[in-house]
Chain A
Amino acid sequence: MIDRPRLQPRRRSPAGHALLAVIIALGLGSLLNARALDRTANNLPYGTTRSVAVAVTEPLHSISSFLFLDRPRQALDALLGRSASTEPTVVLPGPDPQEPITPSTTAPPVEDFRLRTPTPDNPLKVWIIGDSLMELLGPSIVNEGEDSGVVDAEVDFQFVSGLTRRDFFDWPAYATEQLPLVQPEVVIAMFGGNDGQNANVDGVIVERWTPEWIEFYRSRVAEAMDTFTLEGSQLYWIALPIMANDLFSQHVQLMNDVYREEASKRPAVSVIESWDLFTDESGNFSAYLTNQDGNLELMRYGDGVHFTWAGARRLAAAILERMQTDWSAESQAG
C-alpha cells in the first residue's frame, strides 16, 4: 500500500494579521502602481473628486519614483511592449492638448474629394469612429453595409472618449496616425456623449455649457473635422439624438448647433441628424418606437442615452440611406 504524502492544512490566522496583510498589500500595491493610479485620477472629470484624488496620487507617484517602486511595473510594461507613449492617452508632437481657445474657422485643406459609385469589387472604404454611442451603432453600420455588398467598413470606437478631454484620449492625434493606414473614403463620426464636462484651458477650468465653453468646444469640433478630412475623406458627422433627460437634451442641442455650424463651413463634412429618429409623434423622447416592420421595439437603454441594437439599426439605416443618396450614380450624374 502506498502512503500518499498528507497535505498540510492551511493555517488560520488572527484577524489582525489578515487586516495587516490587506493594508500592506493595498498600500504597497498603490506605490507599485502609482503611475496608473495618478493617470486614473487625472482622467476624472474636473471637480472636487478629481482634485482630491490627484492630491493623493501625485505625491504617491513622486514617492514611488523616488523609491524606485515604479520600476517593476515599468519592467512589466516594457515586457508587454507598452510604454508611456503607448498608453491609451495618445499624444503626438504638435498641438498642445491645453492650447488656448482659438476656434478654427478656416476652410478644410481638402475640397476635391470625389464621389464615385462603389461596387462589390471596389467597395466604399468606411472608417467609423466615436465614443460609446458607436458601440452598437458602428457594428450596425458594418452589418447593414455588408448586406449592401458595396461597403467595407471598420469600427474604431473608444469608451469614455470625446473631444473635450484630449488628455484622456486625443482623437485628432489618433486619427492623424490611423488615417494613412486605414485610407478611408468615408469617415463616420459620432461624439458628444462624454463631452459635457468642464475643460482645462491653459490651467483655467472652463465651466461646461458657458459661452466660453461653447467656444472651446467649437474649436475642438473644428479641429476634429479638419483632421478627419485631412486625407481627402468625406466626413459624415452624426448629430446627437434626443435624450431621456430634458436638461441633457437641451445641452445636446447646443452641441448639435456647433456640429451644424462647423460642418457648414466645410464642403467635405455633412451632418446627419438623428434627433427626430428617436422621438414620438409629439416630438418627445420615447424609448419604445415602431421599427420598419411595424413592430414596437425598445430603442434606447435604461440610461436614456445609449442605443439598443434596434435603435442602432434604426440610425444605421438612416446613415446608409444618406450615403447611398450621396454615392449613387444618379446623384453624381446630377
Chain B
Amino acid sequence: MLFPTVDFAIFFVVVLTANWFLMPHQKAWRVVMLAASFFFYGSWDYRFTALLAGSILINQAFGVAIHRSAGRRRHRLVSGAVAANLGILGFFKYYGFMVTSVANTLEAIGLQASLPLLQVVLPVGISFFTFQALSYVIDIYRGKFEPVPLLDFGVYLSFFPQLVAGPIVRAGEFLPQLKKPRDPRRVDSSRAFYLIAVGLAKKVAIADFLATQIVDGVFTTPGQFSSLEVLIGIYGYAVQIYCDFSAYSDIAIGVALLMGFSFPDNFNAPYTALSIRDFWRRWHMTLSRWLRDYLYIPLGGSRGSRPSIYRNLMLTMLLGGLWHGAAWSFVLWGGLHGGWLAYERWRDERRQARALPAPLDTVGRRIITRLIVFHLVCLGWVLFRAGSLAVAGDVLTRLVTGWGPAPAVTPAILLAILVGIGSQYVSRGAVVRVQAAFSRLAPALQGVTLAFALAAIDGLGQEGVAAFIYFQF
C-alpha cells in the first residue's frame, strides 16, 4: 500500500478516525493500531506479517531477559539478540549473494557442492524494523529504559507510518510518547499537512518524472546517451533519490503528526552540505545517528589512535553501504564516503596540529565547496544506482567519451532538477511562516487548499505511482 494511492487514503481516514476516537481507551487503541499496522504491512504480502510478529516476540523476549539478568549473562543475551536480528536480516538480504559466492568459489577450486538455492523474497522494510528492534534491546542492555509491555513494543515496531522505509525511530523516541494518551486538543496539523503535501509533490511530480524521463535510460543504456545527457542523468538521480526518499520520510512524519506522534527529522537540505561529514548530518539522519550510536561508538568511535579512528569511520560506512544490499557497488559507495570522511578528519587535524587558521568563510568558497561535495556525492550515487561495478563503469566512461548533442535533456528535466536542488535553499523561516499562516486558516479552508494541492500534484505527475526507492532496502 503506497502512500500516494487511493487505497492508502481510505485506510488512513479510517485509522486516523479510530486513532482519536479510541484515544481515551488506551488498551483498545493499542490493539486497533497494532491490527491496522499489520493490515498495512500484510497488504504487500500477508506472509511478511509472520516475520514481523516473530521479530516482535523474539526481541521482547530478549529485552525482558536482558533486563532481568546481570554480568556476563546479560552480555551474552544482548550478543544473542544482535546475532538473531542480524542473522534474520542477513538471511533475507544476503542469502542469494552468499550462496552464489560460495558455489562459484567452490567451482573455481574444482569442488562441486549441491547448495540449497532458495529464492528468498526480501520482505519490505526489514532493514528498518530490524534496526529499530536492535535499538530497543541494546538500550535496555545499556540501562536506558526498562522493557515495556509486549503490546506497547508491538505497536512501536509495527507502527505503519515509518514501518516500511523509515525514518528509523528509536525505541527511546517512540515509547515515551506511548506512556500517556496524545493530546487531541493540540495536533500539529499544519506542519503535518505541509509535510504530506510537499512529500507527495516531491515524489509524484519530481522523483517519478526524472526517473522515467532521463535517469532510468541513462543507467540502463548509457551507450545511447551523450556525455551531457549522462551528466544530467546523474544530477537527475541525485535529485530523484532525494525527492523520493525524503518524500517518504516527510509523509511518514506528517501522518504520525496527525496521529499525535512526533518523529525525528530524516533530511535537512543535504545538497547544501559543506563537507561529507556535513552531508551525513543532513542525509538519512536517523540512519547516520543509528550507525554512530550503535556501531561507530561501540567500535571505539573517535577515541584511540588516529588509525583506529579512520578504521572505525571506514568500517561504519562500509557496513552502512552493505546495509543497502549485497553488491560490491554498495560497498564501494560506503568506502567512498568512509574514505572521504577519514580524509576530512585528517585534513582538519593536520590544520589544528600546525596551528593553521581556518580558511576564510567567503561566499565564493562556500559555493565551490558545495559544488565539490555535491559532485562527490553524485559520484557515489553512480555506484549506488548502477547496481554493479560494470554498469557504473559504463556510465562513467560514457560521461567522458560520449561527446555530442543532448536532445534528451529537455527544459522540463532541467526545471525539475533545479526545483529539487533549489528547494533545499529555502530558508527554514519561510517554511515556518507558511505553516503558521496555514495553521490560522479555518479547517474547511485548510481542506479546500489541500484538495487543490492534491489535484495539482496528481495533475503534474504521471499515470501510476512507482514504488519508493528505499522499499528495496
Contacts and interface: CB of A to CB of B under 8 A. Distances in A.
B367 interface: no
B387 interface: yes
Contacts of A12: 185-189, 439
Contacts of B80: none
Given A28-B448, A73-B459, A7 B429 contact: yes
A246 to B, nearest CB: 15
Most B C-beta atoms less than 10 A away, residue of A19, A21, A297: A21
Contact of A142 (B223, B260, B452): B223
B54 interface: no
Interface stretch (A115-123, A174-182, A216-224, A288-296): A288-296
Contacts of A154: 224
A21 B436 contact: no
B439 A22 contact: no
Contacts of A304: 119
A88 to B, nearest CB: 5
Given A24-B447, A32-B455, A72-B455, A10 B190 contact: yes
B413 interface: no
Contacts of B260: 15
A309 to B, nearest CB: 7
Contact of B224 (A17, A32, A142): A142
B433 A8 contact: yes
A286 B223 CA distance: 31
Given A7-B432, A160-B464, A143 B221 contact: yes
Interface string A1-42: 000000111111111111111111111110011001100100
Contacts of A300: 119
Nearest to A139: B220
B460 A80 contact: yes
Interface stretch (B71-79, B100-108, B169-177): B100-108
Interface stretch (B12-20, B291-299, B349-357, B414-422): B12-20
Nearest to A25: B450
B122 A302 contact: yes
A24 B451 CA distance: 7
A52 B285 CA distance: 43
A126 to B, nearest CB: 12
Contacts of B6: 37, 40
Interface string B133-159: 000000000000000000000000000
A298 interface: yes
Contacts of A146: 221, 223-224
Interface residues of A, number: 57
- Determine the main DSSP class of B at the interface with A: helix
B300 interface: no
A268 interface: no
A33 B463 CA distance: 13
A76 interface: yes
A121 B451 CA distance: 55
A311 B187 CA distance: 51
B458 interface: yes
Nearest to B450: A25
Interface residues of B, number: 61
Contacts of A36: 458
A239 interface: no
A297 to B, nearest CB: 6
B189 A286 contact: no
Given A13-B443, A136-B220, A296-B104, A29 B450 contact: yes
B439 to A, nearest CB: 4
A133 interface: no
Nearest to A299: B119
B100 A9 contact: no
Given A244-B119, A287-B119, A302-B119, A20 B444 contact: yes
Given A24-B451, A26-B13, A139-B221, A80 B459 contact: yes
A13 B189 contact: yes
Contacts of B2: none
Interface string A148-162: 000000110001100
A321 interface: no
B185 A32 contact: no
B184 interface: yes
Given A36-B458, A296-B103, A9 B443 contact: no
Contacts of B20: 15-16, 19
A257 interface: no
Interface in B81-131: 96, 99-100, 103-104, 107, 117, 119-122
A2 to B, nearest CB: 15
A225 B17 CA distance: 53
Contacts of B122: 302
Given A15-B184, A309-B388, A9 B436 contact: yes
B451 A28 contact: yes
B13 A298 contact: no
A303 to B, nearest CB: 8
B446 interface: yes
A276 interface: no
Contacts of B440: 11
Nearest to A13: B189
Given A22-B258, A76-B459, A294 B107 contact: yes
A12 B452 CA distance: 22
* CB-based closest 7 A-B pairs: A24-B447, A28-B451, A25-B450, A139-B220, A302-B121, A32-B455, A12-B186
11 contacts: A12-B185, A12-B189, A14-B185, A15-B260, A20-B443, A21-B443, A22-B447, A27-B447, A72-B455, A139-B220, A295-B107
Given A76-B456, A139-B220, 4 more contacts: A17-B189, A18-B258, A25-B446, A159-B464
Interface of A: 7-29, 32-33, 36-37, 40, 72-73, 76-77, 80, 87-88, 136, 139, 142-143, 146, 154-155, 159-160, 244, 286-288, 294-298, 300, 302, 304, 309
